[in-house]
Amino acid sequence: MSTTNGTTFLTGVIEGFYGTPWNPAERADLLDHAPGWGFNTYLHGPKDDLHHRALWREPYGRAHAETLGRFIRSCAEGGIRFIYALGPGLDIRYAHRGDVEAILRRFSQLMDLGCRDFCLLFDDIPDVMYPEDRERWASFASAHAGVANEVFRWVQSRNPGGRFLFCPTPYCGRMASRQLGGPDYLATVGRELDAQIDIFWTGPEIVSEEISVAHIRELARLIRRKPLLWDNLHANDYDGHRFFCGPYSGRSPELRSELSGILTNPNTEYPLNRVAFETLGAFVRCEGAWDSRAAYLESLRSWLPGFASVGKPIELPDLVLLMDCFYLPYGLGPEAKELFRLAVDLMPRDPSGWGQAGERLRTGVARLRELCVRLTELRDRSLFSAMGRRIWELREELDLLERYWAWHSDPARKGQPFASDFHQPRTYRGSMAANLQRLWVQRDDGALVPRSPADPEFATAQLFFR
């Protein structure tokens, strides 16, 4: 697929998350499947690779370089564009010649390994400049554009025709509206950055539920080019309790003609990205309307053999229910949503009066709980390891529901407070992070409000002082 100006439309994967980088076997598996998904691009920029950010001035050691070189060659053989990304923004001195030359040395090392396409990332960095930087550059944006332009020209002199990408400091609408990076950052970059350099964007938010054509057109006018979508829809590095196996959605096919490409920054755990990859590829290739739910079901159908078990087989309806529980950041899938709706409606009532709705709830909870247990018997242990802790957490909550219903159905316990021998204070939902979470209430408008000391959740957090 090409954009209207003839430039190749980039479709593929960004390994750009915070977390353990994928291993060579996982990257090889990605290359094996990429052509079938319609992918043509892989961007290498894992945040927790020390040489990507913290040690960006230091060259790769021999072993690391050889591993990268083998993968770069494999990408070329498979028709996949390998883009190398560097994130020097944590401590770069923009006016210091030595720092610019450090970028050139790193890119030179990658060129020697066969890399042709590059990217500079200035995301998630402090928007501060050294005094000598301010003497040379009028603004933070001008410093970024100036360094990127110099590196781009150097790369083009050695490797004409290679693609060059740039991630701005404000990379979503909310960041731009709050003037992250300084006033008029995007307008300045759009004006000063070489027109051949692609600019990344994530949409209205870092993780955007929806991205409209109007939103992208407005941005394109500001940055003077079609943006390249860095899509965090399936990213889960910000929430260790979840992974996302729902379909590519919230974007219309008309969006494709307004972009220079779509790259997904997905789940940290490689084995959990089958639906994210397949449905993105289907979206880019689709003609007419986009039915995300149909694409999701088709993807689960093709993934089902990967859930082969030594015990009772996992069937497609089981897989749909499970993945509806781990759908997308802003919502559950339909089957999980219906089960949760029943729980919300019925939990305040006495279980003896639940009727048929209660039977549906009990049956659904028991089915899902049993499925969580059966998943421990998956033959693909890497797949189970990737989801195991989150699946077991779900099973614990389902188990608690069943214990609650059994307690309240026992006449001998009528009027007694419910408790579980398996969910004790300071062990159930413990940890520093969980207790910090208890200190806040988030309103529908996004505002965070401190809990009142009278709130039971606040009191629970105080148990940890004892």
Sequence length of the chain is 466
Contacts of 280 (CB under 8 A, 6+ apart): 11, 37, 231, 248, 262, 264
Beta-carbon contacts of residue 309 (< 8 Å; ≥ 6 apart): 374, 375, 377, 378, 379
CA proximity to 199, closest of 152, 249, 238: 152
Token couple for 327: 């759908």
Q: Coil, strand or helix: which one is 194?
A: coil
Element (H, E) at 43: strand 41-44
Catalytic residues: 124
Q: Which two tokens stand for residue 337?
A: 């949503």
What does DSSP assign to residue 21?
Answer: P
> Is 229:201 a contact under the CB 8 Å cutoff?
yes
CB-CB contact of 257 with 7 (8 Å): no
Place of tokens 């408790």: 419
Q: For residue 228, what is the DSSP state?
A: E
3-state helix, strand, coil in the chain (%, to 5): 50, 10, 40
